[in-house]
Amino acid sequence: MKKNFNIKSSLIQRACFLLVLLLGITTGKVLAQDATTTATPKEKPVKNTFGSSWCMDNQTVMVPIKGTMEMDIQHRFGTFKNGVKDLYGIFAPSNIRIGLSYSPIKNLFVGAGITKDRMQTDLNAKYAILQQTPKSMPVSVTYYVNMSIDGREKVNFRYPVHRLSYFHQLMIGHKITEKFSAQVSANYSWFNNVEGYVDSKGEIQNKMYNGHASFSAIGRYKYSSKSAITIGYDQPLTSHPTNNPRPNISFGMETCTSSHAFQVFAGNYYGIIPQSNSMFNQNDYHKLGQFLIGFNITRLFNF
């Protein structure tokens, strides 16, 4: 009886030893997996694809972090065509926009501004749909939309709703190297009211369609830690009955810090509000006298 008891006791001890060993191995694997999971850092978005939310006449894929307020001052001088008479447009009638934007939540930027040309007040929003990362996401995708209210006297409009215009822009950007970034975008403008004329039958015909599609491309090359060269091109796509808008070519320089950006450039766009530029630009880049000088100043405040 004692011998049988010793055999049973020995078997129980061995079983307990195997159970403890298996538990130890399993626990070790789980801990190792947890350690591996913890050690793998979350991939962060690529920083500073562009130096500002603006690049000359176009929005960029950049959306400031939550709690950021941005003030914009945008200025366009007159064209070169009058030469020294108005100092190549410096003393010609200018166009100015002052805007204020804020990021209330992650990836969203909302704002408002007022522009001298047509006294337009714009309300706008921009949302970062995708953000480029070093490995998993090759591009940044951002959507921008605005609504502009034409503030001229009511004699210019048959109905109040005719004051409204809209702009949609889907941007795809890529930081190719630490120095060079590029972006393309598809754009669509809509005006509730366009100019018309009376035809030979006495009927009113629109000079242009209400909707207008266009394409834009911009590039930025950093030649120092704070400064860059910029270039852009805007191509109308919709063909209208009359007054077809002209493409825009722009090129300039940019200086940035963590809280502000200053851009000075030459281009054909005078309007500042993107749908006005896309729809109504008549400055021809083939003619040197139809270029103008512009600058943007953006200042960031974090709260």
Task: Dump pLDDT digits (tens) for 230-288.
Answer: 999 999 999 999 999 999 999 999 999 988 999 999 999 999 999 999 999 999 999 99
Q: Which helix (H) or strand (E) holds 174?
A: strand 164-175
Tokens of 203: 């009927």
Sequence-separated (6 or more) residues with CB below 8 Å from residue 212: 188, 189, 190, 236, 237, 238, 240, 245, 275, 278, 279
The tens place of each residue's pLDDT in the chain, 303 residues long, gives: 444 445 445 555 555 454 444 445 444 444 445 545 555 678 889 999 999 999 999 999 999 999 999 999 999 999 999 999 999 999 999 999 999 999 999 999 999 999 999 999 999 999 999 999 999 999 999 999 999 999 999 888 889 999 999 999 999 999 999 999 999 999 999 999 988 766 666 677 788 999 999 999 999 999 999 999 999 999 999 999 999 999 999 999 999 998 899 999 999 999 999 999 999 999 999 999 999 999 999 999 997
pTM for the structure as a whole: 0.83
Q: Which two tokens stand for residue 176?
A: 């190719």
Q: 3-class DSSP state for residue 133?
A: coil
Q: Is 157 helix (H, G, I), strand (E, B) or coil?
A: coil
- Count of H-run helices and E-run strands, the chain: 2, 16
pLDDT tens track for 260-276? 999 999 999 999 999 99
End-to-end, the C-alpha distance of the chain in Å comes to 82
Fold of 54-302: Porin (2.40.160)
Give every CB contact of residue 57 below 8 A, 6+ residues apart in sequence.
232, 234, 248, 250, 267, 269, 272, 274, 277, 294
